Structure 1
Amino acid sequence: MARLAAFDMDGTLLMPDHRLGDKTLSALKRLHERDITLTFATGRHVLEMRHLMGTLSLEAFLITGNGTRIHSLEGDVLYRQDLAPDVAEQVLHTTWDTEASIHVFNDTGWLTGQDIPALLEAHVYSGFQYQLTDLRRIPAHAVTKICFCSDHDDLCRLRIQLNEALGNRAHLTFSAVDCLEVLPVGCNKGSALAVLSDHLGYSMQECMAFGDAMNDREMLGSVGRGLIMGNAMPQLMAELSHLPVIGHCRNEAVSHFLTHWLDTPDLPYSPE
């Protein structure tokens, strides 16, 4: 029996309209009633996640910013890591060969230099918004992560540039097909979940985790039971081909799997 359950948000718990379905919410509450600790492991900002947790009346630990922050049930910071200032400086002040928009995250929120209303659609239910600012004026010591948003082919070309420039001074990952993130070295959801598990006195074998994108790879590959969404990125399915695929987020596949796991754990699971 798992003692800690970790969930990605976008493309996993959330349906394509960025809403948490009633069946999913009910299944999460059933886990809580079984004394299984919940944690939400997401690229979203802690300010947004706190708001969502309040509206959903859920009690969970928060792994946010793709592992750059961990917060307790009470909202205390258990772990934090920012980009090295020289990395943030180089990424923000280099002219990259890309069409991507640039987005900076720190403890104040989400900062960008371009007004792109379409990006707010993913945050419609929380009301979380970006702040327009001159990114070159942001202090380099106060940058948690940097995101580039564009089409996937453009971001793949950009990733080559970033790898050549940054080497092993940063961790690069796709949090979606159209979002490439620059994170601190060693920062990912898997390493953050290991920190949280140790804090709670659990082993990683006592954890289950759900995800759909490459930023979930380390987390899914390091827990006792990793589960991949049917709508997952092909690269994730290819790299973790030994893990089961449970179904699509549009059908609330997480709730379907959890209901089966709680009620009929000895029977084989069939995706919805």
Structure 2
Amino acid sequence: MAIIQSSAACCDILLQKPFNSCSIRIHNGTSSLPLKSSINTTHLSLNNPRKPLTVSCSLLDDGVTGSAVQALEIDPTLAVKKKAMEISPGLKGTSIYLVGINSTMKSKLGKLLADSLRYYFFDSDNLVVEAAGGEAAAKQFLNMDKAGFRESETEVLRQLSSMGRLVVSAGDGAVQSSTNLALLRHGISIWVDVPLDIIATEIIENGVQLFGTEISPSASHSEVLSQLATIYEELRGGYAIADATISVQKVAGLLGYDDMEAVSTENMGLEVLNELEKLIRVKKMMEEAARPF
């Protein structure tokens, strides 16, 4: 057995030869995540051996002090941390799943929430890609055995849903089957709705291709936008099942911003925490109403 410590230094990756199974052991936690890869290397026909699974996760150890609270207007991140401290007891370690088309906002928001709530952050797409042996291998696996690839996505979600205190940036596979949607019910799901125009600009300027899509960063803005619109229409039904929707457009309106790109990760983070607070309040009211007199 080999033990590899992740770069975030908050979890160990335990690999058992011949690397057909592994588990993620989180420091200071009580759960482990056994990730069983369903990838058949005979279908991949790769020359390179499978790479070890690595994980992106984060955990903040420091809290917000009295002096820090006084500096809220200077550092908007502190306002998010303060709000997170207020609602954290009510969450009781319930995991949070972020759905929606992948974007810089979605990724940064997940990490901000994890740091503020003292949760761990995972990107489910990254876990699937790493288990496959890298992005090239994952793309080949998806093209040659789409059903098997979807099973791998489900397995990742199943293992993550068995744990608590997680913020998960869920890939689009999370909303493409009733099984995966049911797994999201183990926590609270949030649809992070980012304008497609902003995502299209990110793809072109950063030269990044959304995993699992045929969108080319070298295409024109109108072409990328059109392809994103098609994906959005196909998946919006699954996104809409989320417990709450946090829209960049709505947050911009609440703040009086004319430019939606002016909405910061902290602005979105506060809105997510406010929605979580409402959901906690509703759940508490329902529990109290169900109690016998």
TM-score by length of 1: 0.29
Structure number, greater radius of gyration: 2
TM-score by length of 2: 0.28
Bigger helix share: 2
Bigger strand share: 1
